[in-house]
Amino acid sequence: MGTAASSASGPLQTPLHALHRERGARLVPFAGYEMPVQYPAGIIAEHRHTRGAASLFDVSYMGQATLRAAAGHDAATVFERLVPGDIVGLAPGQMRYTLLLAPDGGIRDDLMAMRAADSATDLLHLVVNAGTKDTDVAHMSAALGGRATVERHDDRALLALQGPQAAAVMARLAPDAAALRFMHGAPVAVAGFPCLVMRSGYTGEDGFEISVADDAAEALARRLLAEPEVAPAGLGARDSLRLEAGLCLYGHDIDRTTGPVEAGLAWTIAKRRRAAADFPGAAPILAALVSGSARRRVGLRPEGRQPVREGADILDAAGDVVGRVTSGGWSPTLDAPIAMGYVAAGHAAPGTSLAVTMRGKAVACAIAALPFVVPNYRR
Amino acid sequence: MSAVRFTEDHEWIRTEGDVATVGITDYAQQQLGDVVYVELPQPGRALARGDEAAVVESVKAAAEVYAPVDGEVVEANGALEGDPGLVNRAAQAEGWFFRVKLASPAQLDALMDEAGYAKFVEGL
């Protein structure tokens, strides 16, 4: 968000920075920004509010961009050169989770791609991670080689309204948005503000992601927070919600050194794309699909109540290191610690007993099926 | 009489006779956020000043609790095992961590008093 909104040397700020302070947020550095980790309610209360009602998250640090084809090209077709998903098959206004892949099959980023809702307009809306947005845009522009251009929207904020009551809130402020199906989006006025609304999110709940111009973001956020169902939530709850939903956090659970098969993201590789083998890293990725990967992303349920943390070694019964924790924390829904990590394929079956070393002590863990908490998407 | 002293690592220690009660400060619990797990020292354990005496974990972070003074652990606050959130609700009262029999009461003189700690936190 607006480099213009930042001080010369300090962290970047989103257009909601003053509102966060006003609501008593505890601010922490995140991907170059100063963002709320929690409000006075606390992470567990914010998490439960999201699962029970609706929470508003400021995710303006995410990278928003538009991909437009050059004359004689088609946006979806040229974008498929970079990702393994079925982009050509997207209906107007439909969106898909996909991966920017490297030639060795590593994951450069995970992102959302949406075809313009207006069928006469040939463009894709992209939402990428904060920490990778600079390199993503440079990479995409170079790899598209004049067949398309990628324009960043650093002048737009992104608000996520998430929870089972999000749709009821939207029905009052933007009936057209409330009618959107899951993983679809459209330009819609929300409380009178022009927005691009997508029915999507990162919490395992029904909800909306709302792209809005920087200069309207605070007024819109205040309007949403004035609804009786809505409370603000920070990065802490966002992390525990996505971990319960089994969703990957880029730079932790997936990165340049992990491939889609071992990450459990082979479902993002469309059937047509497998047959054509026409995406970056197709050879190693398709080989892993056939022979299986050496390691696999798994869920972990530690015994007892002590959370296990990112970076901890995972050991087998003999005490040999067979993997590593990539995300660990607390599940308010299960009232227990949960974690994700990679283990050697032979130890990846749900129910397998392993251990995680924390402070030199072994904490018993069992492999658990993902997600930990079944998502509540509105299909 | 009882006096409360504070460390730069955000422990408090309140002495009553030759026994002192140790916990983390209200500032520390605010920084940690929702506490979900506390690991306490066993009674009988001999602690030297600076030893890692306990562990406190919140939803987001883990932190060590250091012994502010030398002494032998005489009691751990069992209430924290079933209700670690007590640390958030009453960090400087019912949310205490453990009690030690002081080995060198003079060590307390090196710690901050309440006003000194308030000033220390203000500067963070």
DSSP label at residue B106 = G
- Asked if pLDDT for residue A123 goes beyond 90, the answer is yes
What pLDDT score does A1 carry? 36
Angstrom distances, CA of residue A101 to CA of A180, A183, A254, A268? 30, 22, 11, 12
Residues of chain B found within 8 Å of residue A26, distances taken between Cβ atoms: 30, 33
Alpha carbon distance A200, A185 (integer Å) = 9
- Asked if pLDDT for residue A319 goes beyond 60, the answer is yes
Provide the shortest C-alpha distance from residue B53 to chain A (in Å): 13
Average pLDDT over residues A270-283: 98
Provide the shortest C-alpha distance from residue B61 to chain A (in Å): 9
Average pLDDT over residues B24-49: 96
Number of domains in chain A: 2
CB A114 within 8 A of CB A209: no
A267 burial level (CB within 10 Å; 0-12, 13-18, 19+): exposed
pLDDT tens, A178-214?
999 999 999 999 999 999 999 999 999 999 999 999 9
* CATH number of the domain where residue A360 is located: 2.40.30.110
A202 lies in the same domain as A325: no
**A2 — pLDDT class (breaks 50, 70, 90):** very low
- Asked if pLDDT for residue B18 goes beyond 70, the answer is yes
Provide the shortest C-alpha distance from residue B107 to chain A (in Å): 28
Radius of gyration of chain A measured on its C-alpha atoms? 21
A217 lies in the same domain as A355: no
Please indicate if any CB of chain A lies within 8 Å of the CB of B89. no
Question: Could you tell me how far CA B67 lies from the centroid of its own chain?
Answer: 8
Please indicate if any CB of chain A lies within 8 Å of the CB of B37. yes
**B2 — pLDDT class (breaks 50, 70, 90):** low
Average pLDDT over residues A138-153: 96
Output the six-digit token pair for B14. Answer: 């309140």
Average pLDDT over residues A142-166: 97
Among the candidates A244, A261, A280, a domain finishes at A244
Residue whose token pair is 């990428």: A128
The CATH architecture of the domain made up of B2-118 is Beta Barrel (2.40)
% of chain A with per-residue pLDDT over 90 = 95
The sign of the dihedral angle between the CA atoms of A205, A207, A211, A212 is negative
CB B45 within 8 A of CB B16: no
Average pLDDT over residues A152-168: 98
* CATH number of the domain where residue A216 is located: 3.30.1360.120
**B3 — pLDDT class (breaks 50, 70, 90):** confident
Cross-chain CB nearest to B57 (options A240, A307, A332):
A307
Average pLDDT over residues A39-60: 98
Put simply, the answer to whether A43 touches B55 (Cβ < 8 Å) is: no
Within A164-248, residue ranges assigned H as helices are 166-173, 175-178, 214-225, 235-244
Ordered DSSP codes for A296-309: EEEEEEESSS----
Cis previous bond, A371, omega within 30: yes
**A360 — pLDDT class (breaks 50, 70, 90):** confident
CB count in 10 Å sphere of residue A84 = 27
Alpha carbon distance A178, A175 (integer Å) = 5
B117 membership: H or E segment, kind and range: helix B114-122
Compare all CA atoms of chain B with the CA of A359 and give the residue at the minimum distance.
Answer: B55
- Establish if A46 belongs to a structural domain: yes
- Asked if pLDDT for residue A359 goes beyond 90, the answer is no
Residues of chain A found within 8 Å of residue B55, distances taken between Cβ atoms: 306, 359
What ipTM score was computed for the predicted complex, to two decimals?
0.90
Radius of gyration of chain B measured on its C-alpha atoms? 13
**A4 — pLDDT class (breaks 50, 70, 90):** very low
Angstrom distances, CA of residue B79 to CA of A310, A321, B38, B64? 29, 35, 10, 19
Residue whose token pair is 């898909």: A96
Q: How many residues does chain B have?
A: 124
Residues of chain B found within 8 Å of residue A356, distances taken between Cβ atoms: none
Put simply, the answer to whether B36 touches A309 (Cβ < 8 Å) is: no
- Asked if pLDDT for residue A175 goes beyond 80, the answer is yes
CB A302 within 8 A of CB A363: yes
Alpha carbon distance A295, B58 (integer Å) = 30
Put simply, the answer to whether B33 touches A43 (Cβ < 8 Å) is: yes
Ordered DSSP codes for B72-102: EEEEE-THHHH-TTHHHH-TTTTT--EEEEE
Helix (H, G, I), strand (E, B) or coil at A24: coil
Average confidence score pLDDT of chain A = 96
CB A52 within 8 A of CB A164: yes
Range of the domain at A197: 3-61+155-244
Alpha carbon distance B69, B49 (integer Å) = 4
Among the candidates A244, A260, A287, a domain finishes at A244
Cross-chain CB nearest to A306 (options B57, B59, B60):
B57
